[in-house]
Amino acid sequence: DIQMTQSPSSLSASVGDRVTITCRASQGIGSYLAWFQQKPGKAPKSLIFAASSLQSGVSSKFSGSGSGTDFTLTISSLQPEDFATYYCQQYYSYPLTFGGGTKVEIK
Amino acid sequence: QVQLVESGGGVVQPGKSLRLSCAASGFTLSSYGLHWVRQTPVKGLEWVAVISNHGTIKFYADSVKGRFTISRDNSKNMLYLEMNSLRGEDTAVYYCARCGGDCNSVSAAIDYWGQGTLVTVSS
């Protein structure tokens, strides 16, 4: 199975900050990488697919980059509604696997 | 708009069975593969199973293989997960999720999620 490792597991940031989250795959996955946002008590929401493509309706303040084993999610200017937990997921091969999540909290 | 609504969760004893359902609307179901994904506070998000758009291809996580069965009825716009021989570690919120393509191959990301249904396995 492909292991997905996110860092950091949590971070504190202020409104307006630029935030970057990292995801590393245990083997090369090309660009078969998705990012999800989850707020407490809610279902995940799809943000990015193919490592850098925004899902329909997702704000352009979110951006993704990377290929192979190393990926990043960047939020350009953190807003109150962005405080949530973010997950990466590979869909290069089954079983699909998720990272452990990065909780973005208010400083 | 795309909607996925799960139902069928509840409290069940270890060793018993439960069937989850997911009602899909707002899109042509027969064009998309569908997943079940579960989540616990300890293990986080865990992929469970996938079924291709016409049901010809199915894959399962090792943790549920031989106990869970994924199926679909495109004529009823429904996805199902039959769960047998349930264990305490199956306790989770179960989400159905749409594959961004037919899921005949892996190469499409999840694009929509349902709201989830809680399954608690306890005596």
In tens digits, chain B (123 residues) has pLDDT values of: 999 999 999 999 999 999 999 999 999 999 999 999 999 998 899 999 999 999 999 999 999 999 999 999 999 999 999 999 999 999 999 999 999 988 887 779 999 999 999 999 999
Residues of B whose CB is below 8 A from A32? 106-107, 109
Whose structure tokens read 């570690």?
Answer: B89
For the segment B47-72, what is each residue's pLDDT rounded down to a tens digit? Answer: 999 999 999 999 999 999 999 999 99
Q: Say yes or no for a CB contact (<8 Å) between B45 and A49.
A: no
Q: Which of B44, B18, B9 is nearest to A44 (CA)?
A: B44
In this complex, which of A34, A42, A95 lies closest to B110 when CB atoms are compared?
A34
- State the Rg of chain B over Cα: 13
Residues of A whose CB is below 8 A from B61? 95
Residues of A whose CB is below 8 A from B35? 96
Name the pLDDT band for A99 (thresholds 50, 70, 90).
Answer: very high
Question: Cα separation of A14 and A86, whole Å?
Answer: 17
Question: Cα separation of A20 and A99, whole Å?
Answer: 15
A90 touches chain B (CB under 8 A): no
B9 touches chain A (CB under 8 A): no
**pLDDT reported for residue B75:** 97
**pLDDT reported for residue B103:** 83
Residues of A whose CB is below 8 A from B44? 87, 98, 100-101
- The dihedral through the CA atoms of A48, B91, A95, B71 has a sign that is negative
Residues of A whose CB is below 8 A from B1? none
The nearest CA of chain A is from the CA of B48 a distance in Å of 8
For the segment A7-65, what is each residue's pLDDT rounded down to a tens digit? Answer: 999 999 999 999 999 999 999 999 999 999 999 999 999 999 999 999 999 999 999 99
Q: Which two tokens stand for residue B101?
A: 């393509």
Q: Say yes or no for a CB contact (<8 Å) between A96 and B106.
A: yes
Q: Say yes or no for a CB contact (<8 Å) between A46 and B112.
A: yes
